[in-house]
Structure 1
Amino acid sequence: MIPGKKKSRSHSFSRSIYKLSIILIGFLGGLLQATEITYIEELKIANHLRTTDPQQFLQQVSYISELELADKENKALRDYLLGYAEALKGNSEKSIKHYQKVVSSKANKPLILRTKLALANLLVLNKDYVKSLELVREGLSEANTVDDSVRHYIYQVAAIVYNEVGQFELAEQVLSYLPENSEQVMNVKEGCLLAAVQAQTWYELAKISTKKEEYIESAYARCKEKEPVFALSAKFYLIADKIQKEKYSSAKQSIDKEIKTVEDLGYSYLTLGYYTLYALTLNGVEEKESATEYASKAIILGEKNNRETITTWLLEAYYLNAQLFKERGDLEKALELLEEYLVKVNRYNNDQSSKQLAYQLVEHETESKQQKIEQLNQQNELLKLEQELAKKDATNNRLILALVIVLLTTLTFWTYRIKRHQIRLRKQSQTDQLTGLSSRHHFYETAKAILHRSEQEKQDVGFILFDMDYFKSVNDKYGHLVGDWVLQKTAEVVKASCRQNDLAGRLGGEEFAIFLPACNLEKAKQLAEICRRAVSQIDTSETGYRFDVSSSFGVTSTELSGFDLMDLIADTDKAMYSAKKNGRNQIVVVDGLVKEFEKLIS
């Protein structure tokens, strides 16, 4: 109300109802049980208002927050609106509280499901991965009980959450539930969001084909005017895929067209990502100075906006800048960047581990619930059988039921014991009991199978062999228990340093190997350096003694040593002993010239 003017109570009341209805229609669309407009019309108005005029939406929500509402359904709708408004303003804690009120209310199912998925999206950004994944599972379990609009929303948010926690195959699976050409029946905002989510999923799974590239380009053209953030997000992963395929000129042309628009939008994470892609592209076309400039911009932006959040693109910027300064001869700056990179890699890996643990916990809980349901179903079947037989002969019924229960119990018991025994034997045969790494036999068999497949697919494989320095002296001086502790700690840091698909094994004594699928020589060397540093930083005070721990590393790849496992081991063994001979606690890479010479004389 404008100061100095008065309105009658009835007029004010009418205005309140009018404004409330506009907000509810404009924002939630099909969730409001209106009589004057259809569900589809409500949804269209909602998406239009939310997309085109967020400031007006915030003003409307501020007004309705003071209204007295008796109807529980309207109260739930208002809490949903207030939650979304707080999310728009960046107040995630307040937003979560409003959403939780809706979830605990007795509102209609579509509203509650939408709220659960909105809450899941907020919680995953707040790193509450377990609760977020639980809400996604709840939403997916009820997706077939609601109309298409809500169901499509559930699938999209589920894919976003799964991508965030690194479960890209699950994201792809959920997106496959959407009907073909579903973006054609969605409004502009939903269709553009879908394109961005699909582009990320395809990129992470390395599945951006020519056909998918055309789809992303088409979505970008369709969305760039009305939904530029989603359009540029989809284009981002297309450009990232080009860089991964070393199509630097094409990538540079794309970024040159978009970088100004990205900066003007002011979304820090999107800008950081584009800066990193630009730096990688410029480095690829040998524009080193410009590459350094944009990598530095990405780092500054990442540190300025959120030091707690580490993205792969920020890590890429740090690592690239370190390499560029090294090439320029500024080793002090390069070392500073590399050290910061390693610190952030450790934090990033910890966060990824938290995501994996959360997913496993939710999976385990889901399986437990399913087992309970199955047990209840079995009990129900037995009760039905008992009732049917009781009508004929109560005595025979009790005997038969007792026999069935005994048989089922015995069968279940022995099946469980046999299965458990099989699992234990398999694990013992595949795992080194001291370190938890792959046993020698399992390592050899698995590595040979991957080498065969990699050779057919023409993919490089990296190989690292390393041996503990002065390990016999540790055993002799401090005892075998301390020696075993050193091996266990070494295995822990190796597992923490490896990628998800890498294979680490103990080949015997104090000798370890790391098999790196889809990895070139340079990346294998980088991982070896990370492992070497991690091993050298092991704190032995836990044993009651203080002594240095180090390892000597040999590194090669199939590009140098071929796809025969024994050749890989032999070459890295020579390199490793060169490292020991040259002073230990260092990395020696197999000499490519020597390998070429050996091939010529063989």
Structure 2
Amino acid sequence: MSPRRLHTKPWLLIGAVAFGVSAQPAVTTTAPSDTAVLLAQTESLRTVDHPRFLRLLGQLDQQAPHMSTRERWQLRYLDAWQASYQGDYANADLALRDLIDHSNDQVIATKASALLMDDMRTSKHYEQAFELANRLVANLPNIQDETARFMVLFYVSQLLTAAGQYDLAASYALQTTEVRAPGETQCAPKTVLLTTLYAGHKLNSSNPVFQQAIDACRASGQSVFLDSVWLVKSGLYLDENQAEKAISLLDRVMPNIRADQYHTHVLVAQTQLAQAYLKLGDDDKARESALAAIAISDPGDTSEFLRDAYQVLYSIEKKHGNAATALGYYERYVEQDIGYLNNVSATALAYDEAQQHTLAQKLETEKLSKQNNILELQQALNTKAMETSRLYIAMLLMALVFIAFWLLRLKRSQMRFKQLSCLDGLTGISNHQHFMSEAMRMLGMLEKKRSPACLISIDLDYFKQVNDNYGHAVGDSVLRHTVAICRRQLRSSDLFGRLGGEEFGILLADCQREQGIATADRIRRAIEASPLDADGCVISFSASVGMACTETAGYDLQRLCREADTALYKAKRTGRNRVIAISAAGAG
């Protein structure tokens, strides 16, 4: 069974290792049995000494027939935890649901619910995860066991981080630092707070929270959490263009990461090494590290770090002029990027849908309450005198107007959410998923009419240098400026979207090849002639453009995309700041 795979920043969502709250036996008025002591000891070793945890778990499984009912439920919880840690979610979730429904132990049921919520997130059942999170949060005031309370806060924080709700996630992370679970140190709370701050871009490599987390995790012996802290720090070194520091740190901690055998941490470390060596110009070591990251992943895996590994390989092969190999790596990079972005969008969408569902339930409750009030008013009308009936009727109308107002508000909120889910948050144009679905629909209509169309692919030249030299805020301004320029050159019937990063796509309907080339070159010249004035600093930039037409490629969207990307790559390779269109013979 493969170890747990995560699909967002792995150190931000610590996953199965986070279940290892170092629980100790509870103090009771009678001496606990030897089995109860062994169960508590085993649970405390999950992330401190996992090999020993497995040995004790095997010993406990052999003793199961002689245990009390409650002890057997505790053992089943530990078995479910191990199944989840290994990535065996099907068996883990069956056992967890059985614990929730039949253990008759509130503490075990709460811990099992928290674990199940995290499994749902990891296996991409986001809507169910948020529904369960809402129920657990609503029940927080009733959770007296500190360990169970800690787990709920911990996993809710990670789920909100995955949905991009960083401020709300940080508030739950701070609450974990205030929980005093038996035997629990500040390692896990400090780590989750650290990673949440990093996700929200509120952290730098010199922040004192790092040393607090390191000291706490070293003192408790929780090396997997400590690995997460190191990976956050090396990631910040890369963000701050301190590649030498990142390599030095990763070389120092890599033996411990490999010893812990946590797949995701190994993948992250290899990818970061590849990025750091690429920044320093050591292409051989960068290639070696990137290939190592890919080698330890299953063929169907999708993650941000596999995407970054393929991007490193693409950059190296492109630099050395290996066009065919570079194109192959670029295609894998695009596949990973699409999968990663779709996963992030799905998580955010599930969060918003859960919020809408909660609001709808609240409004439905208010509606039912008001309907009861209306019935009472109608009964009162039969017993009151005529002079008071008008007052009650007026109150009834006000209640109906109030209900209609809230229902209208809910409908408008849902319509606005649907519209936002189709747009790119930064530029306001179609996002990748909406662009592709609309392009496929338009091509189907154009094929029926036998009307021509052109697909334009635009990529800003040397955009990474803009981010490196001026910062990501200026880079975002360049992207918005580019969108404004392009919109001035397009018709209202043209489809315009952001495909990812600094790449944009345009579908020109009812457009011949020559018209498409003219439009593409007009856009390219407009971008070149329109530098951005950012706080007194004039930033000039250009774009490379590739184009494919239905006249040569047909109406299949995938083929149009491939030919447009091929033309774009040729424009990049032959000097940038130019338009290349695929001809009938396949050349520009």
The TM-score, its normalising length taken from structure 2, stands at 0.66
Preserved contact between residue 29 and residue 43 of structure 1 (Cα < 8 Å) = no
Shift of 1:189: 6.2
Runs of 5+ in structure 1 lacking a partner? 1-25, 448-473, 492-498, 593-602
What's the counterpart of residue 281 of structure 2? 286
Shift of 1:231: 0.3
What's the counterpart of residue 339 of structure 1? 331
Preserved contact between residue 23 and residue 147 of structure 2 (Cα < 8 Å) = no
1:131 counterpart = 2:128: yes
Residue by residue over 1:227-267, the C-alpha shift from the partner in whole angstroms, topping out at 9 and shown as x without a partner, is 11110111101210121111223222222211222223322
Instruction: Please give the alpha-carbon distance, in whole angstroms, between the structure 2 residues aligned to 1:217 and 1:276.
Output: 24
Instruction: Please give the alpha-carbon distance, in whole angstroms, between the structure 1 residues aligned to 2:55 and 2:386.
Output: 76
What's the counterpart of residue 56 of structure 1? 55
C-alpha spacing 1:198/1:220, structure 2 compared with 1 (3 Å):
same
Deviates more, 1:124-133 or 1:375-384: 375-384
1:320 counterpart = 2:312: yes
What's the counterpart of residue 459 of structure 1? none
2:338 partner amino acid: N
Residue by residue over 1:426-479, the C-alpha shift from the partner in whole angstroms, topping out at 9 and shown as x without a partner, is 999x99xxx9769xxx98xx89xxxxxxxxxxxxxxxxxxxxxxxxxx99x969
Higher helix share: 1
C-alpha spacing 1:437/1:249, structure 2 compared with 1 (3 Å):
closer
C-alpha spacing 1:65/1:563, structure 2 compared with 1 (3 Å):
same
What's the counterpart of residue 79 of structure 2? 82
> Helix, strand or coil for the counterpart of 1:194?
helix
What's the counterpart of residue 410 of structure 1? 401
Q: Say how many residue pairs are matched.
A: 486
Residue by residue over 1:544-591, the C-alpha shift from the partner in whole angstroms, topping out at 9 and shown as x without a partner, is xxxx99983639599953249xx99xx88x9689999xx996568997
Residue by residue over 1:355-409, the C-alpha shift from the partner in whole angstroms, topping out at 9 and shown as x without a partner, is 233223322222222222333454566788899x899969888765444222211
What's the counterpart of residue 12 of structure 2? none
Shift of 1:217: 2.8
Shift of 1:287: 2.5
What's the counterpart of residue 250 of structure 1? 245
Shift of 1:29: 5.3
1:206 partner amino acid: H
> Helix, strand or coil for the counterpart of 1:562?
strand
What RMSD, in angstroms, separates the aligned Cα atoms of the two structures?
5.3
> Helix, strand or coil for the counterpart of 1:290?
helix
Instruction: Please give the alpha-carbon distance, in whole angstroms, between the structure 1 residues aligned to 2:413 and 2:122.
Output: 41
Higher relative contact order (CA 8 A, sep 6+): 2
Preserved contact between residue 118 and residue 159 of structure 2 (Cα < 8 Å) = yes
> Helix, strand or coil for the counterpart of 1:150?
helix
Superposition pairs of residues 215-226 of structure 1, within 5 angstroms: 215-224=209-218, 226=221
Shift of 1:171: 2.0
> Helix, strand or coil for the counterpart of 2:252?
helix
C-alpha spacing 1:30/1:108, structure 2 compared with 1 (3 Å):
farther
2:197 partner amino acid: W
The TM-score, its normalising length taken from structure 1, stands at 0.65
C-alpha spacing 1:327/1:177, structure 2 compared with 1 (3 Å):
same
What's the counterpart of residue 358 of structure 2? 366
Matching residue within 181, 184, 205 for 2:200:
205
Instruction: Please give the alpha-carbon distance, in whole angstroms, between the structure 2 residues aligned to 1:422 and 1:261.
Output: 49
Matching residue within 165, 168, 190 for 2:166:
168
What's the counterpart of residue 267 of structure 1? 262
Shift of 1:79: 3.6
Preserved contact between residue 120 and residue 136 of structure 1 (Cα < 8 Å) = yes
2:533 partner amino acid: G
Runs of 5+ in structure 2 lacking a partner? 1-20, 430-441, 458-474, 549-562, 579-588
Preserved contact between residue 23 and residue 181 of structure 2 (Cα < 8 Å) = no
Preserved contact between residue 76 and residue 107 of structure 1 (Cα < 8 Å) = no
Instruction: Please give the alpha-carbon distance, in whole angstroms, between the structure 1 residues aligned to 2:157 and 2:414.
Output: 33
> Helix, strand or coil for the counterpart of 1:116?
helix
> Helix, strand or coil for the counterpart of 2:208?
helix
Instruction: Please give the alpha-carbon distance, in whole angstroms, between the structure 1 residues aligned to 2:387 and 2:60.
Output: 69
Instruction: Please give the alpha-carbon distance, in whole angstroms, between the structure 1 residues aligned to 2:334 and 2:412.
Output: 42
Instruction: Please give the alpha-carbon distance, in whole angstroms, between the structure 1 residues aligned to 2:544 and 2:85.
Output: 56
Preserved contact between residue 117 and residue 157 of structure 1 (Cα < 8 Å) = yes
What's the counterpart of residue 141 of structure 2? 144
Matching residue within 118, 121, 128 for 2:115:
118
Residue by residue over 1:261-306, the C-alpha shift from the partner in whole angstroms, topping out at 9 and shown as x without a partner, is 222332221111111111222222332322222122112222xxx3
Shift of 1:156: 0.5
Preserved contact between residue 130 and residue 362 of structure 1 (Cα < 8 Å) = yes
What's the counterpart of residue 557 of structure 2? none
> Highest Rg: 1 or 2?
1
C-alpha spacing 1:105/1:401, structure 2 compared with 1 (3 Å):
farther
1:214 counterpart = 2:205: no
Shift of 1:191: 3.1
2:248 partner amino acid: Q
1:311 counterpart = 2:307: no
Residue by residue over 1:50-104, the C-alpha shift from the partner in whole angstroms, topping out at 9 and shown as x without a partner, is 34331233224413544586x5x56644442332243345432221111101222
Instruction: Please give the alpha-carbon distance, in whole angstroms, between the structure 2 residues aligned to 1:394 and 1:68.
Output: 73
Instruction: Please give the alpha-carbon distance, in whole angstroms, between the structure 1 residues aligned to 2:90 and 2:476.
Output: 33
Percent of aligned positions that are identical: 15
> Helix, strand or coil for the counterpart of 1:310?
coil
Instruction: Please give the alpha-carbon distance, in whole angstroms, between the structure 1 residues aligned to 2:545 and 2:79.
Output: 66
Shift of 1:161: 2.4
